């Protein structure tokens, strides 16, 4: 069964600090992995997408890494801002079939001033 596990479930940090969110998956065969940011009461917005051959991808202060061998990904947020407070969801898609991505439960990040 395809699964995506995220950790930690929730995280509180001070403004300006860095943090790293983790995502482990069992989806196979692998196609791509996306990190989404979901503000409360809003739809998810894509931050990064990574395919099998990519190890690192950055989007501003967000840097995602992927280790396809160990089936792990991380999202690193640098110099956090209050607006980073949101839920971060890891979504993994497999190859072939009807393209139904598997969602992680998300990490709730709260940035305090």
**Residue ranges in contact with another protein by CB under 8 A:** 31-32, 36, 41-46, 49, 51, 89, 93, 98-101, 103-106, 108
Q: Considering beta carbons, is residue 17 or 105 the nearer one to another protein?
A: 105
To another protein, the closest distance from the beta carbon of 103 in angstroms equals 5
Rounded least distance, CB 95 to another protein, Å: 9
Angle at alpha carbon of residue 91, lines to 86 and 92, rounded to 5°:
160
CB nearer to another protein: pick between 15 and 108? 108
Question: What single-letter DSSP state applies at residue 29?
Answer: S
Give the separation between CA 81 and CA 17, rounded to whole angstroms: 8
Nearer to another protein, 77 or 89 (CB): 89
What is the C-alpha to C-alpha distance for residues 6 and 52, in angstroms, rounded to an integer?
A: 19
- In the bound state with another protein, the residue whose beta carbon lies nearer, of 69 and 99, is 99
User: In the bound complex, what is the minimum distance in angstroms from residue 108's beta carbon to another protein?
Assistant: 7
Instruction: Report the distance separating Cα 104 and Cα 72, nearest Å.
Output: 13
Pairing of strands 10-14, 107-112: parallel
């Amino acid at each position: 069964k395809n699964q995506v596990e995220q950790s930690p479930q929730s995280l509180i940090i001070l403004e300006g600090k860095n943090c790293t969110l983790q995502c482990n998956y069992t989806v196979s065969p692998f196609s791509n992995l996306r990190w989404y940011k979901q503000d409360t009461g809003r739809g998810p917005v894509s931050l990064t997408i990574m395919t099998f051959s990519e190890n690192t991808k950055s989007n501003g202060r967000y840097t995602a890494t992927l280790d396809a061998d160990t089936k792990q990904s991380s999202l690193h947020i640098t110099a956090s801002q209050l607006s980073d407070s949101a839920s971060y969801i890891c979504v993994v898609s497999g190859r072939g079939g009807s393209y139904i991505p598997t969602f992680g439960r998300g990490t709730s990040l709260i940035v305090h001033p």
